[in-house]
């Protein structure tokens, strides 16, 4: 399988190449040159497979030429062996039509583990092969950071520098990152910054030859194609349990950086009968505005009780615009350059029409979010986290979905990661699973830095030098 950049000028790479590259050298994001497709009978034949086997089957076409089927199966067995639920991503029924897809049974209690447990092992395999070293620089609004750190802490040939906006992640999220003591892990709290600011610095570092040539910068954010590839699997797993390929299924996805919902779009491209993908945002609603009326303009980020979705510049939206807009890298590069200058752009007619076939959107404010939490609790005895609640609100508000089509809301985080918000809505405080151990008794390791690119780059250069000699 070969991969092309959304901006048209970066070299075409194979799976190993895109996994280690992260962001394309032209600033774009990598996508498969064409979508692999399963027939109805091929999908039916995968029903009932254990998750790790299903994962290997779904991902095989994407890794062709870089990993043998046995190598991929072994990586999946090891990655999904770390989940605390046998089904890895179990479904829970809420009422006749609504379901939750629980994606938080991995080591750090959020959906990011599904992809990052695999990605850590992919890095290790490919770096060993090429005798290389990777300096991962990532941005997090809370969940990617802990999942990535768990996935690579202590691994040889990797350093990880994780930037989070200081004071804008939950206590549990912060401690999951900062209490991980390993020589290759470096936490940075960026002062007076949003996730968008941190993400912009990370992208700049990829395009800074002084940094990328010297340190081989790598990505754990969903700009890395391998992240999305692994997330495609749970759409298949859920839909097949609910009757696919004979029956269509709709999904509601709490959305920030557009990675999770884009994985659903990929599943549909691969032949999964997806009725609809509902893009659910909090009040940071750039994606809702873009899909509803073509207005992709970023305002300031408003801090909310669903901090992991407090994002305005949504990286993976570029992948959708490229694919729906006719895969014209030159035109998209121009459009994205305009956005980077103005922080605003209009979607083209082709992009809007292409997206509207599958995607609708909804926005939930704080009251709607709490209302959905209470509904899940009172109706089905389920305690859900604020991000999941935004998805559930959008799922229940969606119009025009026939009553016999199951609507699955992606439950993206364990409620205990956001105990204060859950307590405010429900009056009960969810406890952390025992496997989190003494999270609140451990020492924290983190450096505060001003939100300036040069300060962050200097910090990375200082610490990455010893482990990553200049090439
Ligand atoms: C708990 C949770 N829900 C939803 C999201 C949004 O997912 P995405 O950024 O893939 O749209 C995130 C962060 O990415 C998250 O951490
Ligand atoms: N919500 C995310 C933001 C980063 O998104 P990613 O999926 O691109 O890594 C987080 O928890 O950090």
- The secondary element (H helix, E strand) that includes residue 136 is strand 134-139
Nearest ligand (C-alpha, residue 103): 1
Average pLDDT over residues 153-176: 96
Residues whose CB is less than 8 angstroms from the CB of residue 411 and which lie 6 or more positions away in sequence, other chains included:
92, 100, 101, 102, 103, 104, 384, 385, 388, 391
What Cα–Cα distance (Å) separates residue 85 from each residue in 44, 149, 233, 332, 434? 24, 21, 16, 42, 14
For ligand 1, atom 12, the nearest C-alpha belongs to 308
Q: What is the pTM assigned to this prediction?
A: 0.97
Q: In what order do the strands lie in the sheet with 217-218?
A: 217-218, 134-139, 158-165, 185-190, 447-449
Question: Considering Cα of 255, then 258, then 263, then 268, what sign does the dihedral take?
Answer: positive
Domain membership of residue 369 (yes or no) is yes
Three-state secondary structure string covering 344-374:
EEECCHHHHHHHHCCEEEEECCHHHHHHHHH
Residue among 299, 262, 260, 284 at smallest CA distance from 369: 284
Ligand 2 atom 1 nearest Cα: 308
Q: Look at residue 465 in the predicted model and tell me its pLDDT.
A: 53
State both tokens at 45: 């034949």
Distance, CA 49 to ligand 2 centroid (Å)? Answer: 29
- Separation of 444 CA from ligand 2 center, angstroms? 21
Q: Is the pLDDT of residue 34 over 90?
A: yes
Q: Which atom of ligand 2 is nearest to the CA of 316?
A: 8
| Residue 123 in this model has a pLDDT that exceeds 70 | yes
Q: Is the pLDDT of residue 468 over 60?
A: no
Please give the pLDDT value at position 435: 86
| Confidence at 436, pLDDT banded by 50, 70, 90 | confident
How far apart (Å, rounded) are the C-alpha atoms in residues 56 and 58? 6
User: Residue 8: left if φ>0, alpha if ψ -120 to 50, beta else—which one?
Assistant: left
Domain tally for the chain? 1
Q: Is 143 in the pocket of ligand 1 (CB under 6 A)?
A: yes
**Share of the chain residues as helix, strand and coil, in percent rounded to the nearest 5:** 45, 15, 35
- Give me the domain span that covers residue 421: 91-109+225-426
Sign of CA dihedral 414, 419, 424, 426: positive
The answer to whether residue 5 is domain-embedded is: no
Is 268 a domain residue? yes
Report the 10 Å Cβ neighbour count for 336: 19
Alpha carbon of residue 151 to chain centroid: 14
Q: What is the mean pLDDT of residues 200-219?
A: 95
Q: How far apart are CA 255 and CA 273, in angstroms?
A: 21
Does residue 145 sit within a domain?
no
The residues that bridge with 138 in the sheet, in sequence order, are 162
Return the SS3 of 64. coil
Q: Which of 257, 282, 319, 385 to mutate to test the pocket of ligand 2 (most atoms within 8 A of CB)?
A: 257
pLDDT tens digits, 291-350: 999 999 998 899 999 999 999 999 999 999 999 999 999 999 999 999 999 999 999 999
Domain with residue 381: its CATH number is: 3.40.50.1100
What are the pocket residues of ligand 2 if the criterion is a CB atom closer than 6 Å to any ligand atom?
140-145, 195, 221-222, 256-257, 259, 308, 315
In a domain, 359, yes or no: yes
pLDDT value at 47 more than 50: yes
d(CA 176, CA 173): 5
| Atom number of ligand 1 nearest to Cα 110 | 1
CA 272 to chain centre: 20
Output DSSP code: residue 110. B
The CA distance from 383 to 374, in Å, is: 8
Alpha carbons 252 and 90: distance in angstroms, whole number: 16
> Does residue 450 sit within a domain?
no
Residue-wise pLDDT tens digits, 255-297: 999 999 999 999 999 999 999 999 999 999 999 999 999 999 9
The CA distance from 245 to 47, in Å, is: 9
| Residue 316, domain member (yes or no) | yes
pLDDT value of residue 144: 97
417 catalytic per annotation: no
Residue 217 in any domain: the answer is no
């Amino acid at each position: 399988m070969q991969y092309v950049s959304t901006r048209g000028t970066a070299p075409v790479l194979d799976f190993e190449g895109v996994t280690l590259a992260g962001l394309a050298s032209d600033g774009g994001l990598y996508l498969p040159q064409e979508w692999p497709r399963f027939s109805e009978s091929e999908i039916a034949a995968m029903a009932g497979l254990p998750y790790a086997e299903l994962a290997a089957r779904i991902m095989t076409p994407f890794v062709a030429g870089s990993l043998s089927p046995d190598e991929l199966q072994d990586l999946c067995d090891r990655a999904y062996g770390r989940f605390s639920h046998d089904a890895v991503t179990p479904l829970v029924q809420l009422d006749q039509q609504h379901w939750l897809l629980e994606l938080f049974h991995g080591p750090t209690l959020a959906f990011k583990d599904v992809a990052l447990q695999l990605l850590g092992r992919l890095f290790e395999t490919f770096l060993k092969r090429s005798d290389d070293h990777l300096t991962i620089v990532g941005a997090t609004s809370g969940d990617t950071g802990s999942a990535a750190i768990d996935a690579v802490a202590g691994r040889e040939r990797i350093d990880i520098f994780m930037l989070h906006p200081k004071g804008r992640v939950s206590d549990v999220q912060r401690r999951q990152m900062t209490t991980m003591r390993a020589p290759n892990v470096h936490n940075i709290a960026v002062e007076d910054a949003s996730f968008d600011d941190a993400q912009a610095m990370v992208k700049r570092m990829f395009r800074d030859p002084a940094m990328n040539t010297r340190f081989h910068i790598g990505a754990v954010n969903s700009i890395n194609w391998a992240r999305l590839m692994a997330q495609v699997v749970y759409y298949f797993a859920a839909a097949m349990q609910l009757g696919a390929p004979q029956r269509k299924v709709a999904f509601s996805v709490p959305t920030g950086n557009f990675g999770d919902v884009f994985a659903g779009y990929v599943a549909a491209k691969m032949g999964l009968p997806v009725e609809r993908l509902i893009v659910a945002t909090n009040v940071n609603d750039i994606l809702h505005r873009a899909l509803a009326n073509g207005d992709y303009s970023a305002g300031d980020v408003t801090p909310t009780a669903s901090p992991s979705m407090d994002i305005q510049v949504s990286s993976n939206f570029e992948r959708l615009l490229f694919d729906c807009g006719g895969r014209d890298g030159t035109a998209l590069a121009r459009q994205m350059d305009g956005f980077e200058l103005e922080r605003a752009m209009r979607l083209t007619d082709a992009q809007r029409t292409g997206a509207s076939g599958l995607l609708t959107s909804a926005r939930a404010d704080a009251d709607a979010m709490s209302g959905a939490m209470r509904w899940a609790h009172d109706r089905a005895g389920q305690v859900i986290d604020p991000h999941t609640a935004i998805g559930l609100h959008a799922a229940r508000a969606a119009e025009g979905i026939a009553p016999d089509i199951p609507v699955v809301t992606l439950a993206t985080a364990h409620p205990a990661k956001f105990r204060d918000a859950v307590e405010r809505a429900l009056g009960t405080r969810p406890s952390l699973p025992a496997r989190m151990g003494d999270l609140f008794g451990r020492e924290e390791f983190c450096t505060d830095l001003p939100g300036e690119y040069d300060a962050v780059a200097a910090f990375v250069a200082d610490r990455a030098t010893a482990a990553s000699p200049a090439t």
